[in-house]
Amino acid sequence: MTMIMNKPVNYFVVDAFTESAFKGNPAAVCILEENHERDDAWLQSLAAEFNVSETCFVTPITGHDARFRLRWFTPSLEMDLCGHGTLASAYTLFSNGLVDSDKVEFVTQSGILTAKRVQDTSVKGGSFLVEMNFPVIPTCELYNSSDIKSMFSKALNGATIVDVRGTTKSINDKYISDEAFFNGDAKASSSDKIVVELPSWEAVTELKPNMDEISKCPGKLIIVTAAAPEGSAYDFCSRFFSPRLGVDEDPVCGSAHCPLAHYWSLKMNKCDFVAYSASRRSGSLKVRYDKEKQRVFLTGKAVTVMKGSILA
């Protein structure tokens, strides 16, 4: 009996939003072939095997030199949008000569996303950054948010809550009612991101959240943020908690900066930011909010830490 062997799949593990290995947010990038695609069960099983915050599957589209299908999986489910996975995928294509262009397009569940190779003028040599073009995710008010603030304060071990904002898909939505918020009837974004502002940078960096209580809060991704102190090289810091998605704390969540750009532009009356992720691994990125086009441009570095072949 002849056993049919699967063709090996090349993979790269890339740390995104950092220039140092073992910092930033790790993503596994798997390069598939259009005529050797795997089923969803295999994709999800492999993501669980890698057990990093995101495993990305990149498939070339025949007839397009710089267009690829891109899907993102956490260890437990598929995501509609992932910033660090997009950066890691683009960096892999650029740095390994897999695309003959300084711009790539990814066909995703959130539409077509573009990523550009941008020369790093701050250092000599071939170092480069990746600039990604994402849709903005507007933040919105909540009716009678005192109860929601109390819930989040408990989940964040008694932290003082300055503000809590929901997210919507429409820039015209002004608020979400409590009933719609808790029942899931609101026009929430695909990943149900919730922004929680704390009073200080230290409140974010020293935070020790209760994951069981966070799991009871509305929203699949809880973004805890605060303005940077005067004189800082950064504008704001954030941390990202998503136990419902199988990741207790995401080291650096790129897509979370789509609502953060909107939120802090209203608070600070500006559109260009330098953002810091205050997780244990840390990370940073530049954020630019284009109000006219309702797009958010995220720019960051990455580094490849390992590569190999998947035989299963």
Catalytic positions, please?
A: 54
DSSP code at position 245: G
What six digits make up the tokens of 53?
Answer: 């915050």
Own/partner pairs, 263-271, CB within 8 angstroms, 24+ separation: 263/139, 263/165, 263/195, 263/197, 263/225, 264/225, 264/227, 264/235, 264/236, 265/289, 265/291, 266/139, 267/227, 268/227, 268/235, 270/235
CA-to-CA distance for 36 and 6, rounded, in angstroms?
9
Q: Which of 264, 251, 255 is nearest to 291 (CA)?
A: 264
Q: Which of 288, 296, 285 is nearest to 25 (CA)?
A: 285
Q: Which of 91, 45, 50, 49 is nearest to 70 (CA)?
A: 91
Q: How many C-beta atoms lie closer than 10 Å to residue 30's C-beta? A: 23
**How far separated are the first and last CA of the chain, in Å rounded?**
19
b vs e for 290-310, b when ≥16 Cβ sit within 10 Å of the residue's Cβ?
eeeeebbbbbbbbbbeeeeeb
Q: Which helix (H) or strand (E) holds 50?
A: helix 40-50
Q: Which of 310, 298, 311 is nearest to 91 (CA)?
A: 298
Is residue 263 within 8 A of residue 296, CB to CB? The reply is no
